[in-house]
Amino acid sequence: MPRSHLAVALATALVVLCPALPRAEVAVRLDLAPEWRHAEDMAALVDVLETWLDRQSDWPRRDEAPRVRLVSEWQAKARQGAAASFQHGRLRGLYDPDRSEILLVRPWDPGDASDVSVLLHELVHHRQQPFHWYCPAAQELPAYRLQDRWLTERGLSADVNWLAVMLDAGCTRRDIHPN
């Protein structure tokens, strides 16, 4: 049997013997709370996100809003001792508790839900700051969960290595050797 006949016979057998696969459906999810898209400036955007956090979080809103600045990646890395947010392995934002300041790494777009979720994540750290944490990494799991919840409401999800975040949040020593 020539190869072309064999190929046709195999293709026919696959079509006949294999069940039809359902067509992939595209889920379109409307943002039910698009106020963040209409914020006129950073202060208005922070207020919209703070209002969402008021409903979703047990940490109260602080009396003073944090200062928010857009910075280059090298400027953020110079201050990375503070809690940092990564996306696709790239530094996207951080909160400096000593200065009550959020640094968002350029490029950052107030119309992009993923970028806005980084601001939300850092706002969570601003709310967490007055409370006791065994280590800074312990704050990350609840911050990433709230960020993911916000994105999920918009039909997206946070690109987070959940296992790594959970391990870090345990505050265990990294290098444990017997004496």
Annotated domain spans of the chain: 35-169
Q: What is the pTM of this model?
A: 0.76
Q: At what angle do helices 140-152 and 113-128 cross, to 10 degrees?
A: 140
Sequential pLDDT tens for the chain (179 residues)? 565 555 445 445 444 444 444 444 445 456 666 889 999 999 999 999 999 999 999 999 999 999 999 999 888 888 765 455 554 467 899 999 999 999 999 999 999 999 999 999 999 999 999 998 888 888 999 999 999 999 999 999 888 888 888 888 888 876 565 66
Cα separation, 50 vs 32, whole angstroms: 17
- How much is the CA Rg of the chain, to the nearest whole Å? 23
